[in-house]
Amino acid sequence: MGKVDKHIFAKNSSWTFNNIANKFERHVEKSVPFYHEGHTLINSYSDFFIKDNSLVYDIGCSTGLLINKLLKYHSKKKIKVVGIDSISSMIKKAKKNNKDKRSSFFVKDIEKFKFKKSSLITSYYTIQFIHPHVRQKIIDKIFLSLQWGGAFIIFEKVRGSDARFNDYMTQIYNDFKLKNGFSEEEIINKTKSLKGVLEPFSTKGNYDLLKRAGFKDVMTIFKWNNFEGILAIK
């Protein structure tokens, strides 16, 4: 068991979001570059897809922070935003943080969740934790559930296109974490805990997933080193 952040410990190849709901936002703010700015960008792009009576899903909603921001951003619209997460403590926290009657939350494995036709689906650093052998199936499911003209906005950590670029990006990201207060030991322990749990694809790998599912119009809307946001329109 190794320390990966203040009051957060994890075993080798065993990272989990269980039991960290109260520490999650602080940890992710230190770990993910431009975490809140990504939310703001999603809000801005949502203007093109969210209208009155729109249905929106957030996959891997964690504590519901993005949903909270979306609902405030579209405060005058009659919409429904649904948060899905497989961790019950995260959903409990999300419900506590969000009392807007236009929201609802479900503890559910995304593989088993039944979508209704929606205008927008978001996934903020979530798909990377879904095992590669079912990842295409999930993206296919997302595509089919969207209305024509609807959008999928996905943010993911990405690998480099070759070993050299991946090495560059990893070193720059480690520098980022050191500047944010993580110790070298915590960075190493977190990396070890994510083995076999976090499986990021390259930019091309993510584009290929989306294209195979049926998305024709795909564009990168955010990029910082090895973190990327993509807009895909059906």
Question: In order of start, what are the domains of the chain with their CATH numbers?
Answer: 2-161+191-233 (3.40.50.150)
Of 42, 104, 37, 102, nearest in space to 71 by CA? 102
Burial class (CB in 10 A: 0-12, 13-18, 19+), 198: middle
Q: What is the pLDDT of residue 1?
A: 82
Model confidence at 177, pLDDT cuts 50, 70, 90, reads: very high
User: Residue 227 pLDDT > 90, yes or no?
Assistant: yes
pLDDT, average across residues 110-135: 96
- The Cα 138–Cα 147 span in angstroms is 16
What's phi and psi for 45, nearest 5 deg? -70, -25
- The Cα 46–Cα 1 span in angstroms is 41
For residue 107, which amino acid is it? V
Residue 180 half-sphere exposure toward CB, CA atoms < 13 A? 20
pLDDT, average across residues 20-30: 93
User: Residue 77 pLDDT > 90, yes or no?
Assistant: yes
- Strand ranges, E, within the chain: 2-5, 8-10, 55-59, 80-85, 103-107, 118-124, 146-157, 217-224, 227-233
